[in-house]
Amino acid sequence: MHPSNHIRGSKGSDLQGKKIVLGVTGSIAAVECVKLVREMVREGAEVTCVMTEWAQKIIHPYSLEFASGKDPITEITGQVEHVSFCGKVPDKADLYLIAPATANTISKIAQGIDDTPVTTFATTCMGSGIPMMIVPAMHQSMYEHPVVMDNIKKLKDLGIHFVDPYVKEGTAKVASRDHILDEVVRELSDALVGRKIIIVTGRTQEPLDSMRVITNKASGRSGLELAQRAYRKGADVELWHGNVSVEVPEWIPQMTFDTFEDLLSMADEVNGTVIVPAALSDFGVREVNKSKLPSTEPVIVELQPLPKFIDAIRDRVDFLVAYKAADSREEAVEKAKIMVEENRADVVIANSLKDVGTETTRAFITGTGKWFEGRKRDIADRVLSEVERRI
């Protein structure tokens, strides 16, 4: 057994049973392919690599053989590899991913030229209707060449999915590994396609004076997991976030807020399904000092209750998922049931503050009547499965 099989599915099953062909071209970004292949394998995929001659001058085929457990295809032989994988045949590939893709390869594909293994696979793939995804990487001046841009537009118009690069230091740099992986999973998923989901996460902070704020310890991680999982499942996701302690994927559409008042001003924009794992302030300072309070003497602060965001949006949304934290599991369940009755939440996710960890957590989901324990990614999947079942 090849060692790659030891990690297959170790991170999840988003690509379980999927056959992916990875085309690698002669960009220096090809050095990132080993890690990309390994991540797809960790999600359960079976990956076969195809390399141009110039790609082999940047990364050795042995590296991709190690990563995937399969011999890379470096030439078209009597085995007619392009047809075997991407032709109109049984057990064909689920996706042809070209990452990185040079200006040369993109332009050849747009003109129907197939003089390398990677472009020959592309021609066959397009003729067979297999989904294809292209991840460009090149110097900025090449990327902005009018003919290259026209060729990219032509391929997009033909239904080919592009994962756009980000421009930095005069280079159109290849998209991040996490971004590519999210797009690959999203391309092959249809669980929530066409569903509009707004996820509100992070913590608000209320001003005390011109410098200081009152806030809480929430990281926003549960909401970010929900956003990424919903995005991978094909939903039209909007991530609304306050202050968070983890990196926010820039490819997921997002809006930001700081205070509770900021968020409340956005209430008119809500629609569809809304999930609110955010740690919103329950209290605000009754009178905010316009200047910085001195630190040499005691300060008495009077707090006043703030309204509930879910009450403000309930009549504007089709389906509402609320979150409730309490000091004990028993209290959490009781308060969750009250929120269903009094706040008209369709589903409430409850947990005890003692059960919340950095990587794992334990949560009660109304409607199922069950407690679930696992990674925050696993809990997010449970929540989205309940949404999918109910909407």
CATH number, domain of 284, equals 3.40.50.10300
**In terms of residues, how long is the chain?**
391
| 229 and 359 part of one domain | yes
Query: What is the mean predicted confidence (pLDDT) over 138-155?
Result: 97
Tokens matching residue 222: 């549960």
What is residue 391's predicted lDDT score, i.e. its pLDDT?
85
| Structural domain span for residue 36 | 3-187
| 246 and 373 part of one domain | yes
Domain boundary at 137, 163, 187, which?
187
- Total count of domains within the chain: 2
Q: What is the pLDDT of residues 34-69, one digit of tens each?
A: 999 999 999 999 999 999 999 999 999 999 999 999
Q: Please state, in angstroms and as integers, the Cα–Cα distance from residue 295 to each residue in 152, 208, 209, 212, following that order.
A: 59, 13, 12, 11
Q: Which residue from 354, 380, 15 is spatially nearest to 180, judged by alpha carbons?
A: 15
| 177 and 224 part of one domain | no
**Rg, Å, the chain Cα set:** 25
| 19 and 148 part of one domain | yes
| 166 and 253 part of one domain | no
Kindly report the backbone phi and psi dihedral angles of residue 157, in degrees, each rounded to the nearest multiple of 5, phi listed first.
Answer: -65, -25
| 50 and 149 part of one domain | yes
| 20 and 142 part of one domain | yes
Q: What is the pLDDT of residues 96-109, one digit of tens each?
A: 999 999 999 999 99
| Residue corresponding to tokens 């960009």 | 27
Query: What is the mean predicted confidence (pLDDT) over 317-331?
Result: 94
| 181 and 214 part of one domain | no
| 252 and 364 part of one domain | yes
Q: Which residue from 12, 31, 20 is spatially nearest to 225, judged by alpha carbons?
A: 12
Q: What is the pLDDT of residues 340-351, one digit of tens each?
A: 999 999 999 999
Domain boundary at 187, 209, 236, which?
187
Q: Which residues pair with 138 in a beta bridge?
A: 172
What is the CATH classification number for the domain harbouring 178? 3.40.50.1950
Has this prediction a pTM greater than 0.75? yes
| 251 and 318 part of one domain | yes
| 100 and 47 part of one domain | yes
